[in-house]
A and B are shown apart, each in its own frame.
Chain A
Amino acid sequence: MPLSLVVEQLLNGLQFGLMLFLLAAGLTLVLGIMDVVNLAHGSLYMIGAYLAATFIGVTGSFWVGAALAVAATAVVGTLLEVSVLRRLYARDHLTQVLATFALILIFNEGVRIVWGPHALLLSVPSELAQPVRVLPDLGYSAYRLTIIGAGLGLAVALFLLIHRTRIGMWVRAGASNRAMAQAMGVPIRQVFTVVFAAGAALCAVAGALLGPILAVQVGMGESILILAFVVVVIGGIGSIKGALLGAIVVGTVDTAGRAFLPMLLVRLASPEVASNLGPALASILIYLLMAIVLFFRPQGLFPVRI
């Protein structure tokens, strides 16, 4: 197996993993602090991508459009928290599932009404359209490298924010024990509104950046939502460190599995069996990983200390 192919797939995996982290970060904090199962988190990602497509069309600049979309999605997130999520804190997980599933239906149809049923096409910004030579025999998409850079930058910034600042301390306190944090004087309600808006903004970053690679379409939130939940659960609910590690593991395992498992199977089994089993095993791999992790560590890899 040539080295360039392995490096290329690892970079793809890292890029996908970092985007998953942007979604999982908000999801894990919402779950960790307020104990809210928010299935509509993927809808914020979809909204972010659609707003990005619109603003990029209006402004003519990818970066200005993306920045506007991030800000606008944060506003949408705040409105969502104030209007609906706030009423769900005291309710059980099932009620939250029902309510946020209803939100998915509403967001999906809303988007279909505003933007129409067809997928939107976003193009890679022209200055990043040329491949960059990473290895002597491997040219890699400059755009994907930029995504990796942006993802790493945001991960580091978020990490510093959570672990080095006062609001980060509040967030961590809320995630490990909300009642205790509140008793100690942390303004949990306000912290949570900020966390929710920030989570929405991170969703929009992922949506805008992934727009040119994946299609911007209705339902794009649901498929990635499940992966984000897998990341959160593998990492341990409420833990940013866990979300980052889980996201990179899931991104890499998923990407590498899709690239290499079919090739491996062709050598081990008959072509017919391999062509059936390869894609199935590749799709199953991360769920298998999650089941194994939960079997041995039922609280995830980095449980938040209580």
Chain B
Amino acid sequence: MAADEHTRSVTASPDVAARAPGSAWPKAALGVLPAALVALFPPAAVAWGLEFYMGLVTKAMVFALAASGLNLVLGFGGLVSFGHATYFGLGAYTVAVLAREGTTSAWVVWPTAVLVAAAVATAVAAICLRTRGLYFIMITLAFAQMFYYGVISFKQYGGEDGLRAPRTDFGLPLGDVEVYYLVLAVLVVCLWLLWRIVHARFGRALQAIRDNESRATAIGFSAYPYQLVAFAVSGAITGLAGVLMVHYTQYASPYMLSWPQSGHLMLMVILGGVGRFWGGVLGAAAMVALEEVFHSVTIHWQLGVGAVLLAVVLLAPRGIAGILEGRPR
């Protein structure tokens, strides 16, 4: 799982690699078509009465952002966080609670929500990074459970029922089409940011620590600060996805912080391809599509989703990104 597209150009300076993808261009061209379809979809959806599918794509893009945020620590950092739903939910709840208290300006609410998620992620990681492996998985889960029970205990903010939240605005009201483009814009900006992070010196150091911590330490990278910063950025991005989720559903639910939600985000990353840049996006899209397809066919849709996931594990160990890349490297 360690070998992926980034390790090929290790010798090249990261800046050169980021500015001039070179041989990556033909592959990038393959991505232009789906990107164009996503960008041009809303007018067509409105014209042909396919608003439902527009909502579905919005949802997939929100999860793509959350999963990509998680993939930074999970895939590129090798840190299995089983508690990322916390940051997703905290982003959503910050919006909903502030709205309940009368603050609906997006210029205030969005940065606050992202800061809250980032601050909590930093604090949690500062403690969790003392442990390794399975113990790390479990301690991140422990903190996630604490926040979950913390949120459902605040009865004035909905408790177990969750909290309705009006859409925050940037000075103009947002309809479904506007939310779609908003989510798309945020996703594109964040993916660009993540691409820069992963291909910068920071990202390469992070991956070196993942692949062999003692070797990375020996050449002068201490693991802790890199992993801590990666966790903070990851929490911020996942929190931002939570903010977007509230704009899509207009509702903050305690389920967003629950451990099955953490598992769901992890499934998307694993399904798409752990530590592959497009893994989060592909996994989220595949998962949303998979659930929708089975949901429309049978009430026992979870059986179908489970069977497909199991088949992917047994037959395609490197996830969807692995399949798309073709031959093993």
- A residues in contact (CB < 8 Å) with B: 31, 37, 39, 84, 87-88, 91-95, 97-99, 101-106, 108-110, 112-113, 222, 226, 229-230, 233, 237, 275-277, 279-280, 283-284, 287-288, 290-291, 294-295, 298-300
- A98-B267, A102-B306, A294-B139 given; A93·B149 CB < 8 A: no
**1/0 per residue B6-26: CB within 8 Å of A?**
000000000000000000000
Residues on B with C-beta less than 8 A from A88 are 313
Cα A218 to Cα B249 in complex, Å, equals 27
**Are A106 and B141 neighbours in the complex by a CB distance under 8 Å?**
no
B30 interface residue per 8 A CB criterion: no
CB contacts (< 8 Å) of A39 on chain B: these are 263
A295 touches B130 (CB 8 A): yes
B44 at the interface (CB under 8 A from A): no
List which B120-148 residues lie within 8 A (CB) of chain A. 127, 130-135, 137-139, 141-143, 145-146
Contact with A along B264-306 (1 / 0, CB 8 A): 0011001100100000000000000000000000001011011
Contacting pair B1 A92 (CB below 8 A): yes
Do A84 and B134 touch across chains, with their CB atoms under 8 A apart? Answer: no
Residues from chain B with a CB closer than 8 A to the CB of A87 are 314
| Given A97-B266, A105-B302: A290 touches B138 (CB 8 Å cut-off) | yes
CB-defined A-B contacts under 8 Å, sample of 27: A88-B313, A93-B134, A93-B137, A98-B270, A98-B312, A98-B313, A101-B263, A101-B309, A103-B306, A103-B310, A105-B302, A105-B305, A106-B303, A112-B300, A230-B142, A233-B135, A233-B139, A237-B134, A276-B155, A277-B153, A280-B152, A280-B153, A288-B142, A290-B139, A294-B130, A295-B130, A298-B135
Having A99-B313, A280-B154, one finds 10 other A-B pairs with CB under 8 Å, namely A95-B270, A97-B270, A99-B309, A102-B306, A105-B302, A105-B303, A226-B141, A226-B145, A280-B150, A299-B135
CB-contact partner of B317 in A91, A233, A276, under 8 A:
A91
- Find chain A residues with CB under 8 A from B143 CB: 287, 291
Pair count A-B, CB < 8 A: 131
Of chain B, the residue at the smallest CB distance from A31 is B134
Known: A98-B313, A105-B302, A110-B303. A230 touches B138 (CB 8 A): yes
Which B positions have Cβ atoms within 8 angstroms of A?
A: 1, 74, 80, 127, 130-135, 137-139, 141-143, 145-146, 149-150, 152-156, 259-260, 263, 266-267, 270-271, 274, 300, 302-303, 305-307, 309-310, 312-314, 317
User: Would B309 and A226 count as touching, CB distance under 8 A?
Assistant: no
Chain A contacts for B142, CB-based, 8 A: 230, 287-288, 290-291, 294
- Are A294 and B80 interface neighbours, CB within 8 A? no
- B residues within 8 A CB of A93? 80, 133-134, 137
A88 to B312, CA, bound (A): 13
Provide the bound-state CA to CA distance between A276 and B132, in Å. 34
Of B74, B153, B274, most A-chain CB atoms within 10 Å = B153
Contacts of A31 on B, CB cut-off 8 Å? Answer: 134
B153 and A279: CB pair below 8 A? yes
Which 7 residue pairs of A and B lie closest in terms of their CB atoms, listed nearest first? Answer: A280-B153, A105-B306, A109-B303, A102-B309, A283-B149, A106-B306, A287-B142
Residues of chain B with a CB closer than 8 A to A84's CB: 310, 314
Chain A nearest CB from B290 CB (Å) reads: 11
Q: A93-B134, A97-B270, A233-B134 are in contact. Are A287 and B307 (CB under 8 A)?
A: no
